[in-house]
Amino acid sequence: MSPMARLDLTFLGTFHVTLNHEPLTSFRSANNQGLLAYLALHSDKPVPREVLTALFWPDESADDAHNNLRQAIYRLRLLLGDAEVAGVPCLLVTRQTVQFNPHSDHSLDVSRLLRAIEAHDLETAVAAYSGELLPGFTCNSLEFENWLRIEREQLHRLAIEAMYETTQDHLSANRLDKAQATARRQLDLEPWREPAHRQLMQACALAGDRAAALTQFETCRKMLREELDIEPSFETIALLDKIKAGRFSRTVTDEIVYPPVRTRHNLPADTTPFIGREIELADIHRLLVREHFRLVTIVGPGGIGKTRLAQAVGASLLSHFEDGVYFVDLAPIEQPEGIAPAIAAVLEYQLPDPSRDLKPQLLGSLSRCKMLLILDNFEQITGGAAVASEILLTCPSVTLLITSRERLNLTSESRYELDGLDYPTSLSPDDALNYTAVRLFVDSGQRARPGFGLTDNNVADVIRICRLVRGMPLGLILASGWLEILKTAEIAVEIERGLEFLAADIADLPKRQRSMRAIFDRSWQALSPEEQAVMARLSIFRGGFTREAAGNVAGANLRVLLSLVNKSLLQRRTEDGRLDMHELLRQYAAEQRRRNDPDGLVELAHCREFARLADADVRQSTSLPYATDWLAAERDNIRRAWTYAVDHRLSSELVMLACGIYVLGMAEGSHPRFMLEHAWQSLQQSGLPDTHPDMLRLYMHLLDSMSGFEALNRVKDLALDLAPQVDEYGDLDLRYWLCDILISVSCRLGDIDALDWAGRAIQIALEMGDENNITSARANELMIRVGLDQVDDSALTALEGYLAYFESQSPSNFYIVASLLQTLASYCLSLHDYERALYYGNRRLNIAKSCQHLYSIGGASTILAEIRLQMGLPQMAADHLFDDLQWHLAIGQVWQTLGAIYSVLLEFTSLFGSETVVPIVSMVYHHPESIPIYREDIAISLPRLKAAMGPEAYTAAWEQGKAMDFDTAVARMRAALSPDADNCI
């Protein structure tokens, strides 16, 4: 689209879009048209992608829905010319949001209508309304069609009211022809609209055409009977009588003209912006306008933002409820008898018969009203649900929106559980502001400290604050109040120290909301003694828990858990069924636990439970290269149990937890070696002898972790020193495990004794009588012989046989399968069988990528690059190495990516040239996140590099690398491997 391109959008009465006056028709799908319409009608703010996927692809999986949205955005940008934009684009797209650019050169008929109504330019508004919004439009989403129906009704209502007022103006000014025209326009849209019939009767009578006025009455009566099965109202009959009696003239126009009825409400004016909640607002709005959804309860803990959301929902429904939207604060009310007087006070209800009870008279009056009542703070009213039910039964057009910390447990109730605002993990300041929790903190912070904003220096601390309060709006507001005297980092530290910090003397907040402790005190006091005891014990969990764990550790039965969920003190995650507790509430409950359990019996039970579960999980999944779903879900509980076991020197529990700690650490890129070493040293300091079975097993875990971290010669020496103790203990599992470690280390060192350890492993496996271990040991021996070139022609068939054996298992052993594929690729390469070598290398790469196992991705990429080089295809070799680098940058930690960088450079020095290799290798060697095994490997290769470059050039290049940063090294690697720096996996 050129800088002068003009986009014209017409959605009223049709769907018509032109670009530079040329119609756009190639939308390819109704969803694309609907997406453009939705964005254009919400151009005042960015729309989160989650809102759009829920609206247009509600039945798709999250991944499929986001992929569909990406394709739809791409097609719209092509169609609108944004892909070629040199000026202002129509769509503003980020990773989190999409917005129709309000500053682009465009026109929108709906905007003209709304601007005219706001300016009270009624004739322009009437002219702008050329028909209903997107008539006849359908797509594959019921959610979108529900939204469209609501928008259509609201615009239609606004247009009808504008026409009504315009007709009134014409009548008052005696512009009778125009009055008749606008009255008839109303009737074209709504033939049953009685006020428009009256206006047309008035216009005809004032023009002296009494017969036409009387005929119009008959038309009105007929239409009301046919469409609504009702008779004309008192006002219409009264007007008819005046016309018949000849008492209707221009001089009495003011007596006859009736003002339009305005929607009434008592919603408070906003004093601060309403930030976020777009999805929640749309969800509740859709519920309340659906037939038979007359009771919606917003449920959530105190401080989560229920009241503010309910008020926003009410404001969005003003045009839907003809008799108004009313907000009733029930915080001072404790008994159900107080509900009716509170509603009456808000409605300024005049009691018809003071001698009779208020409630039946109030409900009798409300029975004729189409009204939304927002009943706030419902939870403390014992027995209040019965009153809500009575209102619904006796007032068929009254809808209730209730906020409560507890469910009402009525069959007619639609519960909407509210969680905190969304917040990021770690992003730049610009990206972080796409998250609503961050925006609320920044907005509130600017009130406490003018000029406050998000910067590179404070973004991590702000995100940390948002995470600590889990996006709870009240927590964010209370925390931001301290910006007047504290830095964001200090605020985060104080929140971690305790709840007392989250308090502020804010005059326009109710006293019960001026501190998080007051909020939680109120909830705690409403619990039974049994519920309090269970809540306190449940605070030991981190990151949620299962129902079974809650029973085993906290003695929580299903009845108590359900009660705590219903009271919004626990939340049930829909994606995995786990239960969770808000972090601030957990801190509060933990105080109660420590007070009631000074001996820490709950902590001990928690540690033992997760040690048992972790040990059982690992035994079933030792062949997997990643954390199981269970282990990933329980990572915080595993680490909590580990910390307790280390602090209390529980050797048996540490052994059961060790493998889980190792797998979690490797999966998350945080090397577990130091945690294991600290645990072993702690037990050693407690006096437990090194020969104790638990000490031997824990040390084996430590050796396993060291083999990918420490210098390999040191690891091998430590393993050899341990061998006599393991042999003396006599446990076959431990002896086999030690052989496995020594085989791996010896192979990587190129030591011939790897064959000896493989032979020992076979003998131990035979003693164990375990077929898998026997087959694995023999496969390892054969792979070692292949590497030493000590095999005959039968090796290929044997390797393929072992591969078939292990692939037939479920689940298959990833490590042995990956090793066999790597060996097969390497062996076929030595035979110059490139086709078969590529086949096995690609299979190895595919399974590595499917598991996101970086070490295996690196190994597979290396062998594929070697194959391509031997085939005389250096650029294809570089492509494999580039792909490996991109995977490490995408999902790896810095220390892991450093390993990928130096190993590629040393393996393929000829591809890069020594002048590129040496500075980057020097950077890796001196980088603070480099580990000993990297430095050992690099040191071994330095003489070769120095000889290739010459002493002076080598020294200069090495010194240059000391000053190089990580990003510069990555950029040089990319430039050397591919001319396309934007290439990605």
Mean pLDDT of 877-891: 89
Confidence grade of residue 83 (pLDDT, cut at 50, 70, 90): low
Mean pLDDT of 904-932: 93
CA 336 to chain centre: 39
Q: Which two tokens stand for residue 64?
A: 């499929």
The listed range with the strongest mean pLDDT (143-157, 514-528, 709-723) is: 709-723
Helix axes 894-907, 854-870, angle to 10 degrees: 20
Say yes or no to pLDDT of 669 above 80.
Answer: no
Q: Do domains 7-146 and 280-417 have the same CATH topology?
A: no
Chain length of the chain = 985
Mean pLDDT of 886-894: 86
* DSSP per residue, 54-122: HHH-TTS-HHHHHHHHHHHHHHHHHHHTGGG-SS--SEEE-SSEEEE-TTSSEEEHHHHHHHHHHTT-H
From 240-254, 571-585, 885-899, 964-978, the region with the lowest mean pLDDT: 240-254
Confidence grade of residue 253 (pLDDT, cut at 50, 70, 90): very low
By CB atoms closer than 10 A (0-12, 13-18, 19+), residue 939 is exposed
Residues 6+ apart with CB under 8 A from 569: 301, 523, 527, 535, 581, 585
Taking the CA atoms of residue 749, residue 752, residue 756 and residue 758 in that order, the dihedral angle to the nearest 10 degrees is 50
**What pLDDT, on a 0 to 100 scale, did the predictor assign at position 574?**
63
Say yes or no to pLDDT of 638 above 90.
Answer: yes
Helical (H) or strand (E) element with 803: helix 795-807
Confidence grade of residue 78 (pLDDT, cut at 50, 70, 90): confident
DSSP letter at 832 equals: T
**What pLDDT, on a 0 to 100 scale, did the predictor assign at position 145?**
82
Q: Please report, for the chain, the start and end positions of each structural domain, with discontinuous segments joined by +.
A: 7-146, 173-256, 280-417, 429-515, 527-598, 888-985
Q: Exposure pattern of 639-654 as b/e (b: 16+ CB <10 Å)? A: bbbbebbbeebbbebb
**What pLDDT, on a 0 to 100 scale, did the predictor assign at position 508?**
56
Which position has the higher pLDDT, 515 or 337? 337
pLDDT in tens, 220-244: 999 888 877 778 877 788 888 888 8
Fold of 280-417: Rossmann fold (3.40.50)
**What pLDDT, on a 0 to 100 scale, did the predictor assign at position 1?**
42
**What pLDDT, on a 0 to 100 scale, did the predictor assign at position 254?**
40
CA 171 to chain centre: 56
Say yes or no to pLDDT of 924 above 50.
Answer: yes
**What pLDDT, on a 0 to 100 scale, did the predictor assign at position 945?**
93
Q: 7-146 has which CATH code? A: 1.10.10.10
Say yes or no to pLDDT of 713 above 60.
Answer: yes
Is the Cβ–Cβ distance between 1 and 19 less than 8 Å? yes
pLDDT in tens, 829-843: 999 999 999 999 999
pLDDT in tens, 44-57: 888 888 888 888 88
Confidence grade of residue 91 (pLDDT, cut at 50, 70, 90): confident
Is the Cβ–Cβ distance between 578 and 545 less than 8 Å? yes
**What pLDDT, on a 0 to 100 scale, did the predictor assign at position 512?**
62
Distance CA 470, CA 460 (A): 15
- C-alpha atoms less than 13 angstroms from C-alpha of 35 in its C-beta half-sphere: 30
Confidence grade of residue 259 (pLDDT, cut at 50, 70, 90): very low
Helix axes 176-189, 142-172, angle to 10 degrees: 160
Say yes or no to pLDDT of 299 above 60.
Answer: yes
Q: 527-598 has which CATH code? A: 1.10.10.10
The residues that bridge with 682 in the sheet, in sequence order, are none
Cα–Cα separations (whole angstroms), residue 157 to 126, 150, 263, 384, 701: 12, 11, 11, 35, 71
pLDDT > 70: what percent of the chain?
A: 94
**What pLDDT, on a 0 to 100 scale, did the predictor assign at position 699?**
93
Confidence grade of residue 257 (pLDDT, cut at 50, 70, 90): very low
Q: Strand 7-10 vs strand 16-19: parallel, antiparallel, or unpaired?
A: antiparallel
Fold of 173-256: 1.25.40
**What pLDDT, on a 0 to 100 scale, did the predictor assign at position 575?**
66
Residues 6+ apart with CB under 8 A from 942: none
By CB atoms closer than 10 A (0-12, 13-18, 19+), residue 832 is exposed
Is the Cβ–Cβ distance between 612 and 656 less than 8 Å? yes
DSSP letter at 574 equals: T
> Please, what is the average pLDDT of the chain?
87
Indicate the pTM of the whole model. 0.65
Distance CA 68, CA 141 (A): 13
Amino acid at site 804: A
